[in-house]
Amino acid sequence: MPPPSLRLVVDTDALAANWRALDALSGKARAGAAIKADCYGLGVATCLPALRDAGCAQFFVAHWSEVSAALAHAPPAQIAVLHGPIAAAEAAYARTVGVLPVINSLHQARVWNEAGGGACHLMVDTGINRIGIAPHEAGDPAIAALEIDLLMSHLASADEDSAMNASQLAAFREVAAQLAHQRLSLANSAGIALGPDYAFDVTRPGLALYGGVPRAELAGPIRQVARIEAAVIQRRRLAAGDSVGYNATFTATQPTEVAAVSLGYADGFLRCRGPGAAMMLNGAHLPILGKVSMDMVVIDCSAAPNLAPGDWLEVPFHLPDAAQQSVLSQYELLTTIGARLRR
């Protein structure tokens, strides 16, 4: 099979360095790692071993379908399933393989207890209003019957200097005083930057591991992890008046050298990333012209007179900058990476 015309390069040394930096910033707490959504799009098989070898010993997936990939690289007791057991089959699976469910409701607590129970984690909702038991449910018999390892909550606005952070912290401490548990966990990536009061025993970084910078305090220690490269398919010359792409949103005002590049919205390079953006070649900016297509973009390559089919271009993917340039969040930039790049 011919080689691909797209490349996703994951710098596992940078990934490991990011985990070590976040672990150090967590103070007395130990940093875990959110590896849900295939390590935010960068691949469990690539990322989890690097995180494990760096010293990480607590991994968080969202779906039960993500467990088997994680089990190939980490022991089951280190894997937590954030969505918890909705049905008896999920609880039975957790007990069979040894991963720990995160209990999010009285229903899930009953499902887990009826399956035989055992060690689990518990999520308490302190204000984000997604999943998690309400604080007033902490005294329910189904919760009292749980063998809670990690008592958790999730910050809603840690990436902002919001009064909600302190409010959630206070609510979490209040609930923690009511429930028997082994460890406490509140801070996500941005929460780590809020300081030691939020760290407790385990922090749960996700975005920052993979090169995202949710708060300015993390800009220094966090390194770029993912790089994307795409190959040139064709080079051509436009005459003045020629238009490019769907709906002819770009029209050349003078003769212009352009190239088609093997990258499109099917690869996660969405149309909103086209306007004002550029590909890179040895530091030169090659502006995108017209709309991003499903499988290609067209660039102005006037600044690269020797660019030829098969040459590789860098797709700007420093997450804070790419997010600012587009309407996408840093999370979306990572998790929408297309299947062709992941392969």
CATH of the domain at 250: 2.40.37.10
Per-residue pLDDT of the chain (343 residues; tens, 9 = 90+): 898 999 999 999 999 999 999 999 999 999 999 999 999 999 999 999 999 999 999 999 999 999 999 999 999 999 999 999 999 999 999 999 999 999 999 999 999 999 999 999 999 999 999 999 999 999 999 999 999 999 999 999 999 999 999 999 999 999 999 999 999 999 999 999 999 999 999 999 999 999 999 999 999 999 999 999 999 999 999 999 999 999 999 999 999 999 999 999 999 999 999 888 999 999 999 999 999 999 999 999 999 999 999 999 999 999 999 999 888 999 999 999 999 988 7
The answer as to whether 50 is a domain residue is: yes
Give yes or no: residues 167 and 51 share one domain: yes
User: Tokens 């086209």 — which residue?
Assistant: 274
Q: Number of structural domains, the chain?
A: 2
Any idea what the CATH number is for the domain that residue 135 is in? 3.20.20.10
189, part of any domain: yes
Regarding whether 142 and 168 lie in a shared domain, the answer is yes
Whether residue 190 is found in the same domain as residue 274: no
Q: Which two tokens stand for residue 268?
A: 């996660």
Which residue bears the tokens 């689990």?
A: 120
Q: Does some domain include residue 220? A: no
Of 147, 179, 210, the residue that ends a domain is: 210
Task: Using alpha carbons, select from 4, 17, 6, 7 the residue that is nearest to residue 210.
Answer: 17
Q: What is the pTM of this model?
A: 0.96
What whole-number distance in Å separates Cα of residue 85 and Cα of residue 87?
5
Q: Are residues 256 and 148 in the same domain?
A: no
Structure confidence at residue 274 (pLDDT): 87
Do the domain assignments include residue 35? yes
Whether residue 216 is contained in a domain is answered as no
Tell me whether residue 313 is in a domain: yes
Domain limits at 241? 226-342
Last residue of a domain, one of 176, 210, 244: 210
For 220-224, the CB contacts below 8 A with 24+ separation are: 221/18, 221/21, 221/22, 221/25, 222/18, 222/21, 223/11, 223/14, 223/17, 223/18, 224/11, 224/14, 224/317, 224/318, 224/319
Same domain (yes/no): 167, 245: no
Q: Which tokens go with 14?
A: 């940078």
Same domain as 151, residue 257? no
Q: Same domain, yes or no, for 230 and 206?
A: no
Q: Which of 210, 242, 275 corresponds to the end of one domain? A: 210
User: Are 182 and 241 contained in the same domain?
Assistant: no
- Domain membership of residue 5 (yes or no) is no
Active site members: 36, 246
Residue 219 domain-assigned (yes or no): no
Statement to judge: residues 33 and 163 lie in one domain = yes
Same domain, 40 and 164: yes
- Calculate the dihedral angle through the C-alpha atoms of 334, 213, 204, 33, rounding to the nearest 10 degrees: 50
My answer on whether 243 and 185 are in the same domain is: no
| Residues 193 and 73 both lie in one domain | yes
